[in-house]
């Protein structure tokens, strides 16, 4: 059975979309997207946003035979961006919201595909004018 990477990405993106559409809403930038007219998303004047990227790593058979299940593993990278020079409180608030949906052992489902979160952890914060950015790594697996 083949791995459907788009359904795995759909499960993860859907969980993010549902959480960050709620107040306080945060702009979510999906991989390889634009503002609808072909121009890149302009973050000037936007205090907080997150950018999501699916990084498929590998898939391995977990059942014998050509129709057996495959285990897909990978990383879901989320970059939290907050306004520079305003402290880290907003960043930690967004991180807490990510933990609420991607805590170790939780599952997200989309179109029949279930993705299990193995773990998540924030990386070192970086200054990227006019924002302060924190990368968050989410390791996941899915048995298809």
Range of the domain at 114: 5-143
**pTM of structure:** 0.88
Which CA distances in Å does 85 have to 44, 58, 61? 15, 39, 48
Predicted local confidence at residue 128, as pLDDT = 87
Predicted local confidence at residue 38, as pLDDT = 58
**pLDDT at residue 126 greater than cutoff 80:** yes
pLDDT in tens, 2-13: 788 999 999 999
> Percent of the chain scored above 70 by pLDDT?
90
Predicted local confidence at residue 86, as pLDDT = 84
**CB atoms inside a 10 Å sphere around CB 12:** 24
Predicted local confidence at residue 3, as pLDDT = 80
CATH number of 106's domain: 3.30.2000.20
How many domains are contained in the chain? 1
Nearest of 68, 78, 114, 118 to residue 98 by alpha carbon:
78
> Percent of the chain scored above 90 by pLDDT?
65
pLDDT in tens, 12-67: 999 999 999 998 999 999 887 765 555 677 777 788 999 999 999 988 766 666 66
**Mean pLDDT on 114-119:** 97
């Amino acid at each position: 059975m083949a791995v459907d990477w788009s359904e795995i990405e759909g499960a993860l993106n859907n969980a993010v979309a549902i959480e960050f559409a709620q107040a306080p809403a945060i702009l979510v930038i999906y991989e390889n997207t634009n503002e609808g007219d072909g121009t890149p998303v302009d973050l000037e004047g936007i205090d907080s946003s997150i950018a999501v990227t699916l990084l498929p790593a590998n898939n391995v058979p977990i059942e014998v035979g050509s129709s057996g299940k495959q285990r897909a593993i990978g990383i879901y990278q989320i970059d939290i961006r907050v306004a520079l020079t305003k402290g880290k409180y907003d960043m930690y608030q967004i991180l807490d919201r990510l933990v609420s949906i991607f805590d170790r052992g939780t599952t997200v489902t989309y179109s029949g595909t279930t993705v299990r979160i193995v773990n998540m952890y924030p990386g070192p914060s970086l200054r990227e004018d006019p924002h302060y950015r924190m990368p968050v790594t989410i390791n996941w697996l899915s048995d298809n």
